[in-house]
Amino acid sequence: MSLSALAIKAPLIVLATVVMGTISVAASFFDREGRFTDRVARRWARMLLAIGRVRVRVRGAEHLQPGCRYVLAGNHLSLMDTPVVLANVPIRFLFLVNEKYVRIPFLGTHLRRTGHFSVNMEEDVRASLRSMTEAAAAVRQRGVSILLFPEGTRATGPMGEFKEGAVYIAIKAGVPLVPFAICGTREVLPVGSIQVRGGDVDLVFGEPMSTDGHALKDRSKLNRMLYDRVAALRAELESR
């Protein structure tokens, strides 16, 4: 990327984040159901992708049926994963994120004010379990889906180990798990870089995995199945 392109993109991304974050926070005081703030977040995501010249190719969205609730879980490569899923997941969802993202200016304020959930399993397991239980209750009572990256942080290799949060929430809520895979975001925005490079990103959703008949004691087995499904989707993308 040329210095001139970076000089244009970086301020525009910051400006879009500040403006849309401010609108979202202000609206959150009046938007009890979060529908308007959800639209603001999706508009922000599309703005970032447009500014960065990031083109997203989506497959498998037909697996997500309107009016149904899911726990969506996939691999995590880059901070660009967030706008990619926000702009392209066709159903309303809330994030379950690592607590460190809640500390990011504007983004963190938006997450706190608009009902998203955060966890920090390394430092406060009890609070994290409470957040996951609250997320499961939100799925049941508010009719929204939950999206999370089970690795807990951006992977440095192909894929990191999956924590069991996605499976825990899906079993508690009694809803299917939907595996998804992302490819290309690490090249668009590498870990540790602030340079958003134009390029193609792939997002593919797999078939929902039923949690019917599963109890919390089954979560390790189901988590392994989820990992394998996401790994297979990722391998499929990388072989194209």
Report which of residues 157 and 165 the model is more confident about: 165
Residue 121 pLDDT level (bands cut at 50, 70, 90): low
Report which of residues 223 and 113 the model is more confident about: 223
| Separation of alpha carbons 165 and 153, rounded Å | 13
pLDDT at 79 over 80: yes
Residue 152 pLDDT level (bands cut at 50, 70, 90): confident
The DSSP code for 114 is T
Q: Is the dihedral of CA 23, 24, 29, 35 positive or negative?
A: positive
Q: What is the pLDDT of residue 122?
A: 64
pLDDT at 111 over 60: yes
Q: What is the pLDDT of residue 221?
A: 95
Q: What is the pLDDT of residue 1?
A: 43
Q: What is the pLDDT of residue 97?
A: 79
Residue 18 pLDDT level (bands cut at 50, 70, 90): confident
Instruction: Locate the domains of the chain by residue range.
Output: 3-238
Q: Of 105, 119, 114, give the one whose Cα is nearest residue 86.
A: 114
Q: What is the pLDDT of residue 100?
A: 73
Bin 159: left if φ > 0, else alpha if -120 < ψ < 50, else beta.
beta
Q: CB–CB of 167/226 below 8 Å? A: yes
CA atoms lying within 13 Å on the CB side of residue 187: 12
- Percentage of residues in the chain with pLDDT exceeding 90? 54
Q: Which two tokens stand for residue 134?
A: 């609250």
Q: What is the pLDDT of residue 38?
A: 87
Q: What is the pLDDT of residue 2?
A: 41
Mean pLDDT of 168-188: 95
Q: What is the pLDDT of residue 5?
A: 43
Phi, psi of 175 (to 5 degrees): -125, 160
| Separation of alpha carbons 220 and 231, rounded Å | 16
Q: What is the pLDDT of residue 196?
A: 82
In angstroms and rounded to an integer, the radius of gyration of the C-alpha atoms of the chain is 17
* Model confidence pLDDT, tens digit, residues 19-68: 887 787 787 788 777 788 889 889 999 999 999 899 999 999 999 998 89
Q: CB–CB of 102/176 below 8 Å? A: no
Other CB atoms within 10 Å distance of the CB of residue 93: 22
Q: What is the pLDDT of residue 107?
A: 67
Report which of residues 233 and 18 the model is more confident about: 233
Q: What is the pLDDT of residue 22?
A: 78
Q: CB–CB of 206/62 below 8 Å? A: no
CATH T-level topology, domain 3-238 = Glycerol-3-phosphate (1)-acyltransferase (3.40.1130)
* Model confidence pLDDT, tens digit, residues 83-110: 999 999 999 999 987 777 677 766 666 6
